[in-house]
Amino acid sequence: MSQATAGTGTHLTLDLWHPECWAIQATDRLPGGVLAHAIYDTPVGGEKVKGVFTAFGDSEEEVESLLADIEASPLTGSLNELQTRFDTRRVTPGSVSREFFLEYDPSDMICPQLLERGFVHNAPGRIQDGRESWHVCYAGERSEIEAEIDEIRAQTGADIEIERISSSGTETRRARLLDRLTPSQREVFELARERGYYEWPREISTRELADELDISKTTLLEHLRKAEGTLLDF
C-alpha cells in the first residue's frame, strides 16, 4: 500500500491486548510505556527481527526498571540503548524517554496482522498499562472494517476495541494530541472539559472536579497544568 494511500480512507484508533507480547507484559507490571517505531530484518535465516522503540516514564527510575524488565523477558533477545533518532517530544507522555534497539520474535507482535489486513500505521504504536494503542488508516470500504478486525481477533486471540473512527484526519489529530498525556492527565483534562471547566463562566470548580475524581485539589491542579502545558506546546 502506498504512502499516499495512508493519508486517505478511514482513520481509526485501536485499543487492544494480545497474548505473548513482551511490551504488554512489561507495561502491565510497571509504570511507564513503550512507543513502537520501526522494524528491521535480521540476516537471512534469523528467526528474530530487530526494532527501534522508545521507553518513557515520569522518572529515570521508571524507565530503568521498564528497560530491565523488557531485557529480562523470555520473549526478547538483545537490548541496546541508542542515541536519539526519533523526535518523540510531540508524542511521548512523561518527562523521561530512552530509545532502544531490541531483538524479538515478530509473531509476538500484532503489527504484521494489522498490516496484512490493510490497517496501515500512521503514527508510532503506544503500549501502556498492559494495552496497545494504534492510529491506523484503512483504505478499503468502511463496511469491511469489522470483518477484518474479527479475522485478526480469531487469528491472534486479541481483544480489540475501536476507540475512534473517522473518515477524515481531524479526529486522528485530536487523538494524537490527547495521547501525549499520561492516563491521569488525560482523565483530569477530559473530565474538566466535559464538566464545563473551560466554559465562561466556569460551570464547575476545581474543588468539585477533585471531589468527583477522589483526589486532592493540589493533585488535580498539577495534572491540569501539565496537560495544558503539553497540549499548548504542540
pLDDT digits (tens, 9 = 90+) for 94-136: 678 899 999 998 878 888 888 888 898 878 889 999 999 998 8
Distance of CA 234 to the CA centre of its chain: 17
pLDDT recorded at residue 88: 52
pLDDT recorded at residue 211: 93
- How many residues can be counted in the chain? 234
Please state, in angstroms and rounded to a whole number, the distance separating the CA atoms of residues 54 and 34. 5
Please state, in angstroms and rounded to a whole number, the distance separating the CA atoms of residues 131 and 126. 8
Q: What angle do CA 214, 57, 206 make, to 5 degrees?
A: 25
Distance of CA 73 to the CA centre of its chain: 20
Count of CB atoms situated within 10 Å of the CB of 46: 11
Please state, in angstroms and rounded to a whole number, the distance separating the CA atoms of residues 109 and 114. 10
The pTM of this model reads 0.67
Please state, in angstroms and rounded to a whole number, the distance separating the CA atoms of residues 65 and 164. 32
Instruction: Quickly tell me which residue has 507495561 as its cell.
Output: 27
> What domains can be seen in the chain, in order of their start residue?
5-167 (no CATH), 181-232 (1.10.10)
Q: Which of 225, 124, 141, 146 is nearest to 182 (CA)?
A: 225
Please state, in angstroms and rounded to a whole number, the distance separating the CA atoms of residues 172 and 178. 10
User: Backbone dihedral region of 157: left (phi > 0), alpha (psi from -120 to 50 degrees) or beta?
Assistant: left
Q: Which residue positions in the chain have pLDDT lower than 70?
A: 1-8, 38-47, 84-94, 168-176, 232-234
pLDDT recorded at residue 190: 87
pLDDT recorded at residue 46: 53
* 3 state SS of 210: helix
pLDDT recorded at residue 84: 60
